Chains A and B, each alone.
Chain A
Amino acid sequence: DQQVKQNSPSLSVQEGRISILNCDYTNSMFDYFLWYKKYPAEGPTFLISISSIKDKNEDGRFTVFLNKSAKHLSLHIVPSQPGDSAVYFCAASAGGGTSYGKLTFGQGTILTVHP
């Protein structure tokens, strides 16, 4: 079963506008969420994260919003730049157990920012 879902396979945005990437999860045990960015032929790189005790976290042009009741999070990129074009993965982590820090990933969304 897909516990973390990114229902939009792709998103196309004009440079300077806002990019909004969405992610839904089903496992109520998830309490830490991350966004990763991936370029072709490279491993994912960490972008931003949020703990379940917060509903918003900002880092420069990137903001992540968490709606626990809806089990939904989103990543906002403002303003979008052509260099942001990549695959974005949402990931979640649950506390406890022996799999310390194990991540469950969504399928990814391909973001294309046009000049």
Chain B
Amino acid sequence: DTGVSQDPRHKITKRGQNVTFRCDPISEHNRLYWYRQTLGQGPEFLTYFQNEAQLEKSRLLSDRFSAERPKGSFSTLEIQRTEQGDSAMYLCVSTPRGRGRNQPQHFGDGTRLSIL
């Protein structure tokens, strides 16, 4: 499968614990986004990378959240001291290089985080 891969698919943890998710984008895709989707809502933008540079962070991304893309390939999203409100589906998206901004966007199947 050469699509966007996210790991783990489901994470259950106790409130206050730290969690880390991984996203492997489609090879050669230089743009990578993280979104969060809560029940009954559409995905909400969290952050955006172009290669290894993090170019934008949403105000939804509190200080407890950090994202990295160290070599411009895979990305990690870490949440420290998890809270009940962090329970959501975390989606990773990659898009290919291209001059137009409206390049096809490929979503992963997401990591579902459940906070007990």
Contacts and interface: CB of A to CB of B under 8 A. Distances in A.
A99 B48 contact: yes
A100 B96 CA distance: 12
Contacts of B31: 100-101
A18 interface: no
A47 to B, nearest CB: 11
A41 interface: yes
B101 A93 contact: yes
B85 interface: no
Given A43-B110, A46-B104, A46-B105, A105 B33 contact: no
A108 B89 CA distance: 15
A12 B11 CA distance: 33
B61 to A, nearest CB: 13
A36 B105 CA distance: 10
Interface residues of B, number: 25
A13 B109 CA distance: 27
A102 B95 CA distance: 11
Nearest to A42: B109
Contacts of B56: 97-99, 102
B14 to A, nearest CB: 24
Interface in A64-97: 89, 91, 93, 95, 97
Contacts of B44: 105
A93 B41 CA distance: 18
Given A43-B108, A101-B103, 13 more contacts: A43-B91, A45-B107, A89-B42, A89-B43, A99-B48, A99-B56, A100-B55, A100-B101, A101-B105, A102-B48, A103-B35, A106-B42, A107-B42
Interface of B: 4, 31, 33, 35, 40-45, 48, 50, 55-56, 91, 95, 101-105, 107-110
Interface of A: 4, 6, 9, 32, 36, 41-46, 49, 51, 89, 91, 93, 95, 97-108
**Across the A-B interface, the 10 shortest Cβ-Cβ residue pairs:** A105-B42, A43-B107, A99-B56, A98-B55, A43-B109, A101-B101, A44-B107, A105-B43, A100-B101, A89-B42
